[in-house]
Structure 1
Amino acid sequence: MNRPLAPKVGLLPLYLKLYDEVVPELRPKLEAFLGEVAGMLTASGLDVVAAPVCRERPEFAEALAALTAVGVEALVTLHLSYSPSLESAALLAECSLPLILFDTTPSPTFDSSATRQTMLENHGIHGVQDLASVLRRLGKPYHVVAGHPSRGGVLDEVVGLCRAASAASRLRRMKVGLVGAPFKGMGDFAIDAERLAKRVGPTVVQIDLTDLAKRAAAVSAEEVDAEAAADGERFDCSAVTRQVLEPSLRLGLALRQMLDEVDAGAFSMNFQACTAESGLPTVPFLECSKAMARGLGYAGEGDVLTASVNGALGAAYGDTTFTEMFCPDWRGDTLFMSHMGECNPELASQQPKLVEKDYQFSDVANPVIALFPLKPGPATLVNLTQDPGDAFSLIASLVEVVDTGLVDAFCDVPHFWIRPAKSVRQFLADYSRAGGTHHLGLMLGNRVAAVRTLAEMLGAPCVEV
């Protein structure tokens, strides 16, 4: 599996100064609970940065400045007791970070055996109510997770919101590499780079083809040997010779280097840019697949829009690939998914096999691609589409990857079938009514709720098809 990156989250504890003056022995007990919560969130896959306990506005201001400075992607509040909302609400409303109110207490029970001491230790919920009411009045979006962390699903809900916040944060600050120009005439994903940066966030970085060609030629034999050895461990290389594989390795290593230098979180490549005139030896389909396995977003044909959202989702959740709907099976109610040569090998149900692609679109050497069946089971199609004006929508669809295996007729293209939750006839109609583009991301598992939350954090509608 792609291991998703750990979202960096600020944990903000709220408290009442009066208690330090009247019952100073209370605070150490609640700070121990703060440590327990931080530990549970860390064990659940988050990179937690806990702020000091905050009571008054200056303390909140200092804590928020420090958390912002270290690059947290979301704020999780924890009321250790009641805390007057006006000490923190305006500062939280001004903060651009997604806000999650964790409405919980140290004890999972409070029944007739409770004492005044346990009441003091477990009364933070009305502080949450005070804060939420004022935040709503101020127009600050926020999420609330209520429940004891020991109860099933409570921590998962907090972590899910933090992952969505991380995806939104990564999308807004992402750099997207572009190899070649977008495919001329493909209008659905066509977007001006300035508009993309202004409305969604990603910055497009052009990968210079001349520089890429020079670097590919300069890759050393030792570097090629090392990459070939790594491929031999990971893939079945029995169907390709070293002579056939080497152009793909040279170009792949050069492209990897250039993407790393610009700190790209995603990229798109138009196969039409790969010609003998450009100096490129082949088409880097294999490196596109390897890059997705490393967690980079990708989309073909210069589609930086789809590449960017795939990059954000891959980093936050893992197990994401670029794909495209090609052919409907009206009778069988399935859809054939494919593309020229790019698919994330981390989604493979068996060892991927490297094969030579019979390439006829330009005068370069035949590329090598990774061929494999996808893991069967639930999956989620995701699409970022442009609405009228400067608006965007996310589309999410729960589907099933069908266990069909590989088909000989498609021996040099990635391929698999999916079954939508409704008839293909209805699904295709609904998808196009929503304006979905012909390029998509596919995530393993049911991630519809995650996409819905991501859309909310981006301030965009989410259409479930």
Structure 2
Amino acid sequence: MTTNQGIHGAQDTANMLYQAGSSAAVATEDWKSPAFKEYFLDWAKAAQTARALAQMRIAVFGRMKGMGDIVGNDEMLLRLIGPEATYEGIGDVYKLMEKVSDSDIDAGIAEDRKNFEIASDLPAASHRYAMRMQLGFERFMSERGFHGFSSNFDVFQEDGRFEQIPMLAASNLMAKGYAYSNEGDVHAAVLVGAGHVLVGDAHFTEMYSLDFEKDSALMSHMGEGNWKIARKDRPLKLIDRELEIGGLGNPPTVVFSAQPGPGTLVSLATLPDTDYRLVTAHGEVLDTEEYPDVPMPYFHFRPQSGIRQSMDRWMLVGGTHHQVLTLGGYARRWELLCDILQIEHVAV
């Protein structure tokens, strides 16, 4: 017995780390058990995500006026979590759009035909323009070393040269693994990028309305969505979308509902004492019926604690109006990421 005192070494090491002010993950488990392997994978994914955040660069094109919860301290974000937010001119994307070749657009359209059921009334010229925008944004990020972007609708109309807002670009680029958010919300874009690494196929969304009968929130946004989370038993549709916001032409928009099953909504809140809090709601994506009159991605999400209690807590702890969804039972990965980043985590 005296030759097998492995726990002593672990206790001594943990004590020294604690005294040195260094945080460490601890898992008391048989190292050969499935539970230990699962925990280690979750921790490794969290560590990988923390490293990705330290290298992440987000391009920002404008910010929505009058929306307070998307405003943060970019220097604090860089210092405490890692990502760099850089404010760019949308004209640089336009210049790259002009250089996109017809053959590249043809290839992108062919890929869309593989992925989507394309509406017969979607004008070919509109689809081609949307693909030109997508390729322009993708080349901008590739050439300048960005991992994602956030744009506000108004910048495209204010520039005067754009025909659409980039709904298709946002959806396809999220599906390719880029970070994204709208309205200049850097924090939400960062969480999409984090979710891609931590779990895979993160999705930008928000709560459109509460359904008390379903005990859920109807989730959607203006038309962007990572279609990699779409349910498998319905076709992905690409439609000609009338849109009142933005003041430009109809943006081709991908329409789908999310795969039913477990999932986690996350929001990064800025605290008044120069710190961050990650607000999470673990729950279930419901088997959402088809809504023919909803021309954008949508689904119902039911938090484990119920929509009433969850929303009470969400607003009391500073959860924002933009969220990121990851599918699957990976709530612990978000908690472990907070431990590594040394930011507060609140589950609601």
> In structure 1, the residue corresponding to 2:222 is in which secondary structure?
coil
Single out whichever of 278-287 and 453-462 deviates more from structure 2.
278-287
Which of 123, 135, 140 is residue 241 of structure 1 equivalent to?
123
In 1: Cα distance, 2:258 partner to 2:218 partner: 12
> In structure 2, the residue corresponding to 1:422 is in which secondary structure?
coil
In 1: Cα distance, 2:26 partner to 2:18 partner: 12
Return closer, same or farther for 1:423/1:363 CA change in 2, 3 Å cut-off. closer
Q: Which residue of 2 aligns with 1:197?
A: 78
In 2: Cα distance, 1:369 partner to 1:399 partner: 27
Q: Does 1:377 align with 2:258?
A: no
- Aligned residues between the structures: 345
- Cα pair 1:235 1:354 within 8 Å, conserved: yes
Q: Which residue of 2 aligns with 1:73?
A: none
> In structure 1, the residue corresponding to 2:14 is in which secondary structure?
helix
In 1: Cα distance, 2:65 partner to 2:87 partner: 17
Higher relative contact order (CA closer than 8 Å, sequence separation 6+) = 2
- Cα pair 2:45 2:197 within 8 Å, conserved: no
In 1: Cα distance, 2:36 partner to 2:73 partner: 41
Q: Does 1:319 align with 2:201?
A: yes
Return closer, same or farther for 1:196/1:144 CA change in 2, 3 Å cut-off. closer
In 2: Cα distance, 1:206 partner to 1:196 partner: 14
Structure-1-length-normalised TM-score? 0.71
- Cα pair 1:207 1:258 within 8 Å, conserved: no
- Cα pair 2:148 2:180 within 8 Å, conserved: yes
- Cα pair 2:29 2:35 within 8 Å, conserved: no
Q: Which residue of 2 aligns with 1:11?
A: none
Q: Does 1:368 align with 2:252?
A: yes
Q: Does 1:251 align with 2:166?
A: no
Q: Which residue of 1 aligns with 2:334?
A: 451
> In structure 1, the residue corresponding to 2:27 is in which secondary structure?
strand
- Cα pair 2:57 2:146 within 8 Å, conserved: yes
> In structure 1, the residue corresponding to 2:293 is in which secondary structure?
helix
Q: Does 1:232 align with 2:145?
A: no
In 2: Cα distance, 1:276 partner to 1:283 partner: 12
Return closer, same or farther for 1:316/1:420 CA change in 2, 3 Å cut-off. closer
Please list the CA deviations of residues 168-222 of structure 1 after superposition, one character each: whole Å capped at 9, or x if unmatched.
222233101112x110111012023223223332111233211211221221110
In 1: Cα distance, 2:8 partner to 2:305 partner: 44
> In structure 2, the residue corresponding to 1:302 is in which secondary structure?
coil
In 2: Cα distance, 1:172 partner to 1:268 partner: 18
Please list the CA deviations of residues 348-395 of structure 1 after superposition, one character each: whole Å capped at 9, or x if unmatched.
113311011102234432111111111001110101001112111001
Return closer, same or farther for 1:251/1:424 CA change in 2, 3 Å cut-off. same
Return closer, same or farther for 1:275/1:129 CA change in 2, 3 Å cut-off. same
In 1: Cα distance, 2:148 partner to 2:95 partner: 22
Q: Which residue of 1 aligns with 2:98?
A: 217
Return closer, same or farther for 1:147/1:416 CA change in 2, 3 Å cut-off. closer
Q: Which residue of 2 aligns with 1:279?
A: 161
Which of 296, 299, 317 is residue 434 of structure 1 equivalent to?
317
Q: Tell me by how many angstroms 1:123 deviates.
A: 6.1
> In structure 2, the residue corresponding to 1:322 is in which secondary structure?
strand
> In structure 2, the residue corresponding to 1:177 is in which secondary structure?
strand
What are the equivalent positions in structure 2 for 1:123-202 lying under 5 Å apart? 124-179=6-61, 181-202=62-83
Q: Tell me by how many angstroms 1:425 deviates.
A: 2.2
Q: Does 1:413 align with 2:324?
A: no
Q: Which has the larger radius of gyration?
A: 1
Identity of aligned residues (%): 31
Q: Which residue of 1 aligns with 2:243?
A: 359
Q: Tell me by how many angstroms 1:132 deviates.
A: 2.0
In 2: Cα distance, 1:271 partner to 1:406 partner: 27
Q: Which residue of 2 aligns with 1:92?
A: none
- Cα pair 1:199 1:390 within 8 Å, conserved: no
- Cα pair 1:305 1:384 within 8 Å, conserved: yes
Q: Tell me by how many angstroms 1:128 deviates.
A: 2.7
> In structure 1, the residue corresponding to 2:109 is in which secondary structure?
helix
Unaligned runs of 5+ in 2: none
Q: Tell me by how many angstroms 1:151 deviates.
A: 1.4
Q: Which residue of 2 aligns with 1:388?
A: 272
In 2: Cα distance, 1:379 partner to 1:124 partner: 38
In 1: Cα distance, 2:89 partner to 2:308 partner: 43
Q: Tell me by how many angstroms 1:146 deviates.
A: 4.1
Which of 206, 209, 218 is residue 87 of structure 2 equivalent to?
206
Single out whichever of 315-324 and 247-256 deviates more from structure 2.
315-324
Q: Tell me by how many angstroms 1:456 deviates.
A: 1.2
- One-letter code aligned to 1:439: H
Return closer, same or farther for 1:276/1:190 CA change in 2, 3 Å cut-off. closer
Unaligned runs of 5+ in 1: 1-109, 111-115
In 2: Cα distance, 1:290 partner to 1:333 partner: 31
In 2: Cα distance, 1:439 partner to 1:342 partner: 13
